[in-house]
Each structure stands twice: as structure tokens, then as C-alpha cells.
A = this chain, B = another copy of it.
């Protein structure tokens, strides 16, 4: 069994954004040389997500509006977590809705994806340096 590890670095200037990181994951997979196995991609920070969905800007707009409806940023004072001096409690909720991680099958040296699957980094509390972990195990 072989293993590969890499951190991807992000510093998103806006509070919230969705970033297609599929090319970076594919590059990691090529570097790893692994042909059969599993690839874990996870946010290393707890106000960010890694998820798989469609690379369509209208959908991303809809996700943004929907997440804000289910876990609104305002009023900031409605969250006890924000008494710690943060204003990002909503980001901890949004991250749970979109998820921390994805596990992707590696088959014949490729990400084993359906026709529209793309990997996204979801930032819900930007303006900070953040990391995503890519860990691949296999042969």
C-alpha cells in the first residue's frame, strides 16, 4: 500500500465562495502514481467545506442563498458562539450542511467520477489562510 499527502492552500478575499479544486486533486493523483485506491479530500478548517456537485454558476448562487436562509449570518448576536469575539457561527452551520470531506474512488489512475461530478472548496468565513488536505491510499 502506498500513501500520498498534500495540503492545498487558500486565502479567499470574500467571506463566502465556491472554488472548483478538481484540477488540483487530479494533479495530486498524478503525483501520487496511485492507480487503484481511495482519495480523501477534507477541509482542515471548521468553517469550510469540501463537497462534490455541479460547476454551474446559477447553482452556486442558489446554494449561497439557500445556505443563508437555513443558517443566516445575521443577527450575529443570536449565536452564543459569537460571544467569543467571532462572527462566524453561521459558517459552522453552513459547513455542516455542505460537509467536511469527500472520499473519491481511484480507478485506473483517475478520479472515478460520474459525468458532472466536480470537487469544490466551500468557504464560509474567508479572509483567512486555510488548508485542504488530500490523502490518497492505494497501489
Please report A residues at the B interface, Cβ cutoff 8 Å. Answer: 1, 3, 5, 36-38, 40, 42-46, 51-54, 56-59, 61-63, 66, 70-71, 79-84, 89, 92-93, 95-105, 107, 112-117, 131, 133, 135, 137-139
Contacts and interface: CB of A to CB of B under 8 A. Distances in A.
Given A42-B105, A92-B59, A131-B114, A52 B100 contact: yes
A138 B1 CA distance: 7
Number of copies: 3
B80 A62 contact: yes
A79 B105 contact: no
Contacts of A83: 58
A79 B54 CA distance: 14
